Amino acid sequence: METTDLIVEPTSKKRKLSRSGSSVEATRKHTRVLAACDECRISKTRCDSVRPVCAKCLKKRVPCVYPDKDPFSIFESWGERILDAVERQQKVLSEVLAEKSDRRRAPFTNEILELHTSFDEEVDLERISRNDTPKTPITGSDMILRWPIFPRNKPVDTFPAYAYAEKEKNVDSHRQQTMLPSMIGYDSSQRQRILELRDIYMTKIQIKNPIVDADELDEHLTRALEKGFDWSPSSCLVLLVLSLAAIWGNYPQDDRRTTLACIVSPEGFQQKREYVTNAVPEHRMRESLGYFSMAKERMSTAYLDDSLLGVACFCLFGMWYQYNIEPIPGWKMFRTASMLWEAYNLKHRGGKTERSKQEESLEQRLYWTCLKSECEVRYELADLPSCTLWESDFPFSLPTFSTSSYPPTSSITSNRHEQTIEDSPSYYYYLAEISLRRLLNRARNAVVILNPDIDCATASILTEALSKLENQLEQWLECLPPVLQFNRPLESLPPPNEPELVKLVRERYVEVRELLCRAHLYLCLHCGTTLGREQARLYGAKASEGLALSIYRIRTEIPFFRHPGSWGACRVRFNQSLCLIAAFRGKINGISSAENIVVPPAWADCVRVVIERLEVWSEEGGGIRELAGLLRWLMEDVA
């Protein structure tokens, strides 16, 4: 009834009621009334508002024109615009999906193209030479284990949770007591031992990482001998130098020895079992921990120091942890050193502060020591946050050394222990090692495009870049000074009395060269029928060369001499063993692109040798026991 009354009432009442409770229905009726076309409006006939031509105009066969402000026309206009926008978004989405699809087949993005062309561009070359490399399919144990040639489910992790924690250390409180300021000045034997440790540091450790100024060290040491160890950063530095010297071994001797351990049988009985260990001898560890624990008590003073002294302290902390096979605590120390270096660099980068050439040179050496030490751990544990130093605009591509000599300023040492760094093999080694690490960074950046679905065109571009890097590696080899030259790998074996610095340079060269070949092994194992016959032949030859280099490295290394890179060396020999196993599996599985790979006949024996070496190191932690277990698991089906 109410609705009928509403229809017959005057218009004014309808409008009044439309503002009341029935406004929704009235509004709905109002919006259904559309404007008539011009022809129907002029003839005052009812228009059905059908688009594009109403019934009346269609019957009369006249043009049907609607007003511009017709609500329907407005909606239609906006609808067209919305549809157009949707179509554009659909097109963009289709392009993105197509791009992702192409990337799975050939993931060679513009960024990688720029990387490929940057080998001749100084600015970009410098950037990628310092770059803290992202994950690549061929670097790092976990990445290699993800190759489809290996089983998907692994029995253990390569770096278990316990390896992130610092090892428990038993500190000799009596030794700490004898090192108090009130005691040190009166103990002549202790004074003599401190001087011996100082010489050990300068002759065995400083030569590989010249990050401590010899003159300043002697000044700090003299003060400590006269007044004792105070709570200053300089005392922290001296204590770290002494702790490193006390724990250090003699090249090329190792510390392997047989020891007894009590084990519990499944029946619950205790049994004594002999095993071989390579742990630091107890007397060396005890002496080192006495100094190291005192240095840790002074860590806060080094942290708050705004000079290079604090940076050097945390680098030495990191070196000690590395030597003790504690990669994560060592990485933390180097990361802190990097942060302190950045603060120091910001303070002096404007050039308004006066500094000696010697201090500027030390700043450069500390920069590269922090950068390469942080990155070295991340090469294996890529989930750690990246080093920020590689983004620095620090202008020196390689560290320089002050041309002034470093004569002894303290009477506590004799001249026979002093040698200007420019005249020593240490100078050449440090520069050669850093330049090779820069080349290693460029190689790691080049192989980021590797993936299981790579096509032959992308593979060709990659191998061209790898060829350029190999030429750079050979140029590096030709430029080595005579004091660091070594017998070329695969052509002749190293001499039995090879100097330590020469050995380190040679092994780093083999590591870079094998990595360049490893990229070809990856292509041969993953490309299947994608590669052309000539490509498969060339890549197979380079992959075979890499396998031969792995055999060479395993046979020529000194596996049990402890140094700060011992944990990394265990991972390197593990990765090379994985490549040997992968190549063998590829041949057995009949992968077509792997038919040109030549697997060395002694590959299985070499892998078993690596397992034995890892088992000797396994008591040291750092996930080394798990590496041995994984290799043993992968070799179960090999006769």
pLDDT for 173 equals: 60
The mean pLDDT of 216-238, rounded to a whole number, is 94
- 532/394 same-domain check: no
Question: Does a structural domain hold residue 526?
Answer: yes
Distances (CA, A) of 556 to 460, 492, 550: 33, 11, 10
- The 10s digit of each residue's pLDDT in 146-170 is 999 999 999 999 999 999 999 998 7
Q: How far apart are CA 586 and CA 601, in angstroms?
A: 15
pLDDT score, position 135: 85
Q: Work out the average pLDDT over 434-440.
A: 90
Is 599 domain-assigned?
Answer: yes
What number is the average pLDDT over the span 37-41? 86
In a domain, 244, yes or no: yes
- Burial of 402 per CB tally in 10 Å (0-12, 13-18, 19+): middle
The answer as to whether 310 is a domain residue is yes
Same domain, yes or no: 380 and 310: yes
Nearest Cα residue to 458 out of 38, 30, 113:
113
Report the candidate in 140, 617, 122, 147 with the shortest Cα–Cα distance to residue 375.
140
Q: How many CA atoms are closer than 13 Å to the CA of 409, on its beta-carbon side?
A: 13
User: Apex CA 317: angle with CA 315 and CA 321, to 5°?
Assistant: 115
Of residues 391 and 595, which shows the higher confidence score? 595
Mean pLDDT of 615-633: 97
Same-domain status, 189 and 311: yes
Query: 202: which DSSP letter?
Result: I
User: What's the pLDDT score for residue 41?
Assistant: 85
**pLDDT tens string 520-542:** 999 999 987 788 889 999 999 99
223: burial class by Cβ within 10 Å (0-12, 13-18, 19+)? Answer: middle
What's residue 14's pLDDT?
Answer: 41
Question: Does residue 143 fall inside a structural domain?
Answer: no
What's the pLDDT score for residue 281? Answer: 94
- Are 320 and 269 contained in the same domain? yes
Is 0.85 surpassed by the pTM of this model? no
pLDDT band at 5 (very low <50, low <70, confident <90, very high): very low
pLDDT band at 17 (very low <50, low <70, confident <90, very high): very low
**Are 226 and 345 part of one and the same domain?**
yes
Stronger pLDDT, 89 or 119, i.e. the higher one:
89
Q: Is residue 601 part of a domain?
A: yes
**By three-state DSSP, how is residue 520 classified?**
helix
- CATH, residue 52: 4.10.240.10
Average pLDDT of the chain? 83
Q: How many separate domains does the chain show? A: 4
Q: How confident is the model over 553-611, as pLDDT tens digits? A: 999 999 999 999 999 999 999 999 999 999 999 999 999 999 999 999 999 999 999 99
Are both 446 and 389 inside the same structural domain? no
Question: Do 394 and 485 belong together in one domain?
Answer: no
Please indicate, yes or no, if residue 389 is contained in any of the structural domains.
Answer: yes
Say what the pLDDT of residue 350 is: 83
Instruction: Tell me the HSE value of 187 on the side-chain side, using a 13 A CA sphere.
Output: 17
Question: Per residue in 455-477, pLDDT tens?
Answer: 889 999 999 999 999 999 999 99
- Both 62 and 21 in one domain: the answer is no
pLDDT of residue 207: 92
Identify whether residues 52 and 9 lie together within a single domain: no
Given a contact cutoff of 8 angstroms between Cβ atoms, the answer to whether 404 and 357 are in contact is yes
Mean pLDDT, residues 181-189? 59
**Residue 192 and residue 67 share a domain:** no
Residue 219 structural domain: 161-402
With a pLDDT cut of 90, the percent of the chain lying above it is 58
Within-domain flag for 79: yes
Cα separation, 637 vs 617, in Å, equals 25
| Contacts (Cβ under 8 Å, ≥6 apart) of 599 | 544, 547, 580, 583, 584, 587
- Is the Cα torsion angle 99, 103, 108, 111 positive or negative in sign? positive
pLDDT at 105 over 90: no
Cα–chain center distance at 82: 47
Q: Are residues 469 and 438 in the same domain?
A: yes
Residue 216 scores a pLDDT above 80: yes
* Least confident window among 71-80, 171-180, 269-278, 300-309: 71-80
The predicted-structure confidence for 73-104, as pLDDT tens digits, reads as follows 554 555 555 556 555 555 555 555 455 444 44
Q: Where are the alpha helices (DSSP H) in 265-307?
A: 282-297, 299-304
pLDDT at 23 over 90: no
Q: Over the stretch 493-526, which tens digit does the pLDDT of each residue have?
A: 999 999 999 999 999 999 999 999 999 999 999 9
pLDDT at 407 over 80: no
Looking at the structure, tell me whether residues 20 and 42 fall in a common domain. Answer: no
Select the more confidently predicted residue: 443 or 409: 443
Residue 419 has pLDDT above 50, yes or no: no
